Amino acid sequence: MSSREVVVLSVGGMRFVTRASTLQQFPESRLARMLNDDDREFKLVSGEFFVDRDGALFSYIMDFLRTLQVSLPTDFSDYQRLQREAEFYGLYPLANLLSQEHLLKPRLEILEVHFFLQEMQAFFRIFGSCSTTIEALAEQITVFTGQQSGQGWNSPFPSQKPLVPLPLERPSHHDMVFLCGIEHSAGDQFVARYVSIKPDDRKLINGTNVLGLLLDILLKDGFRLISTRTVVSEEKVECYTFERMKRAASLPITVNQTPGSSGVAQARRSQVRKGK
């Protein structure tokens, strides 16, 4: 059978159409041997291969063969059943990964925003259980500073005044600190700090406005606000706690094409990085 030919499978009453080359990704698997009439479990009926197995789970098998990646829905829970199906089809690299559910299950991610307003300045500290999320936020948030005169808290961004971007303070990989507002320096001069958060292109000096924009961006990014509380009552430090289910990264499978490998595949577990 040519690798360009179309193959039709009926698995548990569900019909799948694919190329023979897709089923031959792993030559030692039963699906590859099926094409050579080398497995009695698969019956050819009216031009279709009949397989008495779970059709819904086979859709994940087909997705794996087409992409060579393990990517499951966030609400998926049938790891043992899917592992059993992978073993039945002789897809042992997939079965080995499925036996390690912790690599594939989504994880609960927690994020806290601490906000402290003092006179004409607002202080922010963001803590996150996932360092990659903090890294992404650090790339979105920019603080600009400049010497200004005769303006107040609600002053708009002075487009004619030069502003200098400042690096965010990063106490650790899991948090960041920044502030906005104004502080007097001499006479009617003061230092102004504006905050911009992508994709919004505004530069805001009012801490309450910055807080509102930050919370809105987090909500749009899939976070859910679960609590608000005052951390330090004397200083009125407000804490906003968010959570979201972070989907596990798709884990690719590398097919070893070296001579004598017989299509043996190895799981690239190095894709699971610290902090995920």
> Are 93 and 205 contained in the same domain?
no
Asked whether residue 258 is assigned to any structural domain, the reply reads: no
Q: What is the pLDDT of residue 233?
A: 64
Mean pLDDT confidence for 2-7 = 68
Q: Range with the lowest mean pLDDT among 27-36, 130-139, 223-232, 240-249?
A: 240-249
Q: Taking residues 182-203, what's their average pLDDT?
A: 83
Q: State the residue range of the domain holding 169.
A: 108-150+159-245
Residue-wise burial string across 60-87, b where 16 or more C-beta atoms lie within 10 A, e elsewhere: bbbebbeebebbbeeeeeebeebbebbe
Measure the CA–CA gap between 97 and 90, rounded to whole angstroms. Answer: 14
In a domain, 253, yes or no: no
Residues 77 and 61 in one domain: yes
Domain match, 85 and 168 both: no
pLDDT digit string, tens, across residues 133-171? 999 999 999 999 987 655 554 554 454 567 899 889 999
Assigned domain for 193 exists = yes
Q: Domain check: are 70 and 135 in the same one? A: no
Residues 206 and 99 in one domain: no
Asked whether residue 95 falls in the same domain as residue 114, the answer is no
At 265 the pLDDT is: 39
Q: Which 8-state DSSP code applies to residue 73? A: -
**Which amino acid would we find at residue 105?**
K
pLDDT in tens, 82-108: 999 999 999 999 998 888 876 677 778
- The reported pLDDT for the residue numbered 248 is 59
As for how many domains the chain has, the answer is 2
Q: Indicate if 83 and 57 belong to the same structural domain.
A: yes
Residues 85 and 163 in one domain: no
> Mean pLDDT lowest for which of 67-71, 187-191, 221-225?
187-191
